[in-house]
Amino acid sequence: MCAVLASAVVRATLVDVYYIPSGSMEPLLRTGDRVLVSRTDYRSEPIRRGDLVVFDGRGSFAPFRSGNPPFVDAVLGLGQWLGVAGSGTVYVKRAIGLPGDTVACCAPDGRLTVNGAPVTEDYVFPGDAPSGMKFIAEVPAGRLWLMGDHRSKSADSRSLLGAPGGGMVPIDRVIGRPVGIIWPLERSTPLARTALGGTAGTDEGR
Would you please indicate which residues are annotated as catalytic (active-site) residues? 24, 93
The rounded distance, in Å, linking the Cα atoms of 111 and 89 is: 29
CA-based radius of gyration for the chain: 17
Q: Which residue intervals of the chain are DSSP H helices?
A: 2-13, 41-44, 70-81
SS3 state at 173: helix
Q: Which residues contact 54 (CB under 8 A, 6 or more apart)?
A: 18, 35, 37, 90, 91, 92, 174, 175, 176, 177, 178
φ, ψ dihedrals at 58, nearest 5°: -65, 130
CB 96 within 8 A of CB 156: no
Residue closest to 177 by CA, chosen among 58, 31, 9, 15: 15
